[in-house]
Amino acid sequence: MRKLLFACVTLISVTAISPSAHAIGCLSGAAAGALAGHYAGHGFLGMLGGCVAGHEWHKHQVTQQGLQNTTTYDAQRKAADPNYKSPWAQQQ
């Protein structure tokens, strides 16, 4: 129990010190990984793995949302101006 408390305090301290860290996926992934790791006997390793996986999943979701936003923007601009050329489209 003491190790888990130390790990949580360390994780929170690191995310608080680093302002550029996007800790949304890391904290939720670490919580799930620590719980799964606790039952497997490796709580700290589960927490680290969950943090990495959660962070990567959050980045993936943000990227997908950005792509959806650019697609919507392009569709609206093409409807308003038929000569519009998307800056995100591949140049040929």
User: 70 in a domain, yes or no?
Assistant: no
Provide the pLDDT for residue 22: 59
Domain count, the chain: 1
Q: What is the DSSP letter of 85?
A: -
11 φ/ψ sector (left φ>0, alpha ψ -120 to 50, else beta): alpha
| pLDDT tens-place string over residues 8-51 | 777 676 655 554 555 677 777 777 788 788 777 877 778 888 88
Spatial contact of 32 and 47, defined as CB atoms under 8 Å apart: no
Locate 2 and state its tokens.
């003491």
Provide the pLDDT for residue 14: 60
User: 71 in a domain, yes or no?
Assistant: no
Q: CB neighbours of 89 closer than 8 A, spacing ≥ 6? A: 74
User: 3 in a domain, yes or no?
Assistant: no
User: 29 in a domain, yes or no?
Assistant: yes
Is this prediction's pTM over 0.85? no
Residue 43: give the domain boundaries. 23-65
User: 45 in a domain, yes or no?
Assistant: yes
User: 15 in a domain, yes or no?
Assistant: no
User: 14 in a domain, yes or no?
Assistant: no
| pLDDT tens-place string over residues 49-80 | 888 888 888 888 888 888 888 888 888 888 99
